[in-house]
Amino acid sequence: MKVLTLNTHAWLEEKTLEKIKEVAQVIAREDFDVISLQEVNQLVTAKEVDENCLGKYYQALDQEVRIKEDNYVWLLVQALNELRCSYYWTWAYSHLGYERFDEGVALLSKTSFSAEPIVVSACKDPNDYHRRVIIQAEIVTERGQLQVWSVHYSWWSKEEREDGFQREWRRTLEVSDHFVGPSLLLGDCNAPTHRRGESYDLLLKSRLKDSYYLAKKKRGKVTTLSGIAGWAQETPPQRIDHVFVTSPFQVEDYRVMFDGKEEFVVSDHYGVSVSLRLE
């Protein structure tokens, strides 16, 4: 099994349509089984797409905001179709971004899945960027049920009240306690690995393991450019985009992608590709 996570920074990049085609070509070449995307945007003012036009692979979610014509993942799916590459897919609305975008997270899978959007933040206002929604999905594989989370969490909260990443992670654990099988968590966790006692360490207190350290082979480490949105300008490149796994996954390969080496840079984040096998 091969998975990918990428914060797309959708429509905040120059030449977005060209970059969508580049991402589609890489996905088709690498033949990923599961893909998590974050900052998957569409303009608030864009025209809605009739759900019947989204195709048989679209997995509709129970939410008020609908897919619009310029939705990044919808355009990506169409680009993949042109390459004769089909994925089951869905998109969950999270919040109003930059005062003009419906921002959300997406999940794509080679096999069908059941999914639901879960508000994990204390904030419930859809116009407030503090509102965070994850996709929790169950995918049927040859080895049984697989739980997958596509996530984009907030930063660690330094204030006394419990919000931010702490609240969101606790809520994630609450809604997933019933599942005891193998799990994958993919996404932009805003969890720098070098900060002790914060988000990354809290993640590691669960049954999840960092695929970077489990991998037999590695290429690349940091997943962001310096001074990206949401972080101070002087912030150096960090590893905040993650693929976490549970037993009995074995990690064969960890690779940073879209970093300007073998693929073009398509975002202010790089992608992370992980090759896995179930024991």
What is the Cα–Cα distance from 267 to 11, expressed in whole angstroms?
10
- The pLDDT score that the predictor gives to residue 163 is 79
Could you give the 3-state DSSP secondary structure of residue 264? coil
**Of residues 196, 279, 199, the one with CA closest to residue 244:** 199
Q: Output the pLDDT for position 273.
A: 99
- Which structural domain, as residue segments, surrounds residue 82? 2-278
| Tally of residues, the chain | 279
Total domains in the chain come to 1
CATH code at 199? Answer: 3.60.10.10
Backbone phi, psi, residue 276, to 5°: -130, 160
Asked whether the beta carbons of 66 and 53 are under 8 A apart, the reply is no
Q: Where are the beta strands (DSSP E) in the chain?
A: 2-7, 34-43, 88-97, 101-109, 113-119, 133-141, 144-152, 183-188, 209-210, 217-219, 241-245, 249-257, 271-278
Residues 6+ apart with CB under 8 A from 62: 116, 117
- Local confidence pLDDT in tens for the 279 residues of the chain: 999 999 999 999 999 999 999 999 999 999 999 999 999 999 999 999 999 999 999 999 999 999 999 999 999 999 999 999 999 999 999 999 999 999 999 999 999 999 999 999 999 999 999 999 999 999 988 888 999 999 999 999 887 566 799 999 999 999 988 888 999 999 999 999 999 999 999 999 999 999 999 999 999 999 998 877 777 665 788 999 999 999 899 999 999 999 999 999 999 999 999 999 988
Q: How far apart are CA 8 and CA 268, in angstroms?
A: 8
Q: Are 66 and 58 in contact (CB under 8 A)?
A: no
**What pLDDT is recorded for position 267?**
96
For residues 188 and 242, give the distance between their C-alpha atoms in angstroms, rounded to a whole number: 6
Q: Which of 275, 277, 272 has its CA nearest to residue 37?
A: 272
Question: What pLDDT does 235 receive?
Answer: 76
Tokens for 26, please give them: 């890489």
End-to-end CA, the chain: 12
Q: DSSP strand E in 156-257: where? A: 183-188, 209-210, 217-219, 241-245, 249-257
Residue-level pLDDT at 179? 86
